[in-house]
Amino acid sequence: MQNLSPTPAKVWLVGAGPGDPDLLTLRAARLVMNAKLIVHDGLVDPAILAMARAGTRLISVAKSRARHTMKQDDINALLVREALAGNEVVRLKGGDPFVFGRGGEEAEACRAAGVPVEVVPGISAAMGAAAAAQIPLTHRDAASIVTFVAGQCKGLAEQDWAGLAGKGRTLVIYMGVATAEAIAEKLIADGLAPDVPVAVIENATRTDMRVLRGPLAGLAALVERHKVKSPALIVIGDVAAREDNALREVALEVVK
């Protein structure tokens, strides 16, 4: 008699948030604590991986800008292979799986192979960084539009960012540290004022977080001077200076 093929196990695409383990959703925390197999990105904080039970199989598929440990196709294939073999997979990704996380590609690969897939949202770096640095992404006095862009893309110069930043708008750039100079030049060439406030938030929500501020024209120098490293976000717009303003107002009141 022919063997019945086993039902494929499920793949969970799980957002691990920006770093601080307290920022996991309850569902993500439960999945991590009960996982037999976790396939994780380099951005996932070690403190989150430490929540897994002893004996959990941990596979790192860390990617960096210059070095690709595992190609995306190979990651997709790994998820599908494990699920078809009957192993439930917790695929842990930094932030939210569907914000610059290639979660869409992994979900497609699973569906194409008949593997059930479920997505667990996470706090994306923009939300984590905004909260930790107390920079509101929208504010009735400053911005009612927020845009998330990837700064690392090839052909940055050809991309049309016109209108994404400026009065009443907040632009949040992921993966923009290495291209900070080109980004500032591009935005200024598009007509943005060189003195628009900018904040760079490195390692948001982690113990080593840094928040640096300055005008757009000084962005590259700021990144260079402080040796900013990935992961870092760049926030451009009036909201980037709000905390400073608030502090200044408090200081004035004290002086009065």
Looking at 23, 107, 119, 125, which residue binds ligand SAH (CB under 6 A)?
125
The nearest distance, CB 217 to ligand SAH, in angstroms, is 21
Is residue 174 a contact residue for ligand SAH (CB under 6 A)? yes
**Is 63 one of the catalytic residues?**
yes
For ligand SAH, the binding residues in 93-122 under the rule CB under 6 A are 93-96, 99-101
Looking at 13, 78, 175, 183, which residue binds ligand SAH (CB under 6 A)?
175
Select 37 or 183, whichever has its Cβ closest to ligand SAH.
183
Select 180 or 201, whichever has its Cβ closest to ligand SAH.
201
- Among 10, 20, 22, 41, the active-site one is 41
Q: Which residue has the tokens 């996982």?
A: 35
Q: Which residues are catalytic?
A: 41, 63
The site for ligand SAH (CB under 6 A) is made up of 18-19, 43, 93-96, 99-101, 124-125, 129, 174-175, 201, 203-206, 230-233
